[in-house]
């Protein structure tokens, strides 16, 4: 009796990275709106002088840097999660199988 071991793929490999794109697009939009808000505030306060204005500008800059850090972290997290999901799904698309067979030899009739 013969035997053949192989890995059988039930489906083609798939890429699910697109699942992160909708969330990343929202993060990008939030980042754009954040930049617009900061620009608007700086524009309104550009002629002002004084300690309160300076502290407000510093706080806004720090706020924007913190938001950008979170934004980048969430983008990386979403890409990582989508990649892990893709890998899990693709790992489940196949299975090890063993085929058993008999070799039948027929004698020629003379």
How does pLDDT run along the chain (110 residues), one tens digit per residue?
A: 789 999 888 888 889 999 899 999 999 999 999 999 999 998 888 888 889 888 998 999 999 999 999 999 999 999 999 999 999 998 888 889 999 988 888 888 87
- The answer for 70, left when phi > 0, alpha when psi is -120 to 50, beta otherwise, is alpha
Task: Give the HSE-up count for residue 5: Cα atoms under 13 Å, Cβ half-sphere.
Answer: 1
Angle between the 51-91 and 18-45 helix axes, to the nearest 10 degrees?
180
Domain hosting 20: range is 16-92
Q: What is the pTM of this model?
A: 0.67
Tokens of 107: 């004698």
Q: Could you give the CA distance from residue 14 to residue 87 in angstroms, rounded to a whole number?
A: 9
Confidence (pLDDT) at 81? 95
Is there a domain that residue 64 lies in? yes
Task: Indicate the number of domains in the chain.
Answer: 1
Is there a domain that residue 108 lies in? no
């Amino acid at each position: 009796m013969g035997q053949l071991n192989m890995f059988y793929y039930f489906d083609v490999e798939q890429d699910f990275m697109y699942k992160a794109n909708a969330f990343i697009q929202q993060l990008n939009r939030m980042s754009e709106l954040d930049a617009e808000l900061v620009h608007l505030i700086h524009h309104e306060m550009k002629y002002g002088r004084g300690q309160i204005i300076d502290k407000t500008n510093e706080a806004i800059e720090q706020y924007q840097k913190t938001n950008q850090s979170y934004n980048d972290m969430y983008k990386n997290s979403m890409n990582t999660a989508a990649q892990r999901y893709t890998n899990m799904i693709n790992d489940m698309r196949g299975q090890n199988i063993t085929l058993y067979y008999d070799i039948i030899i027929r004698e020629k009739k003379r």
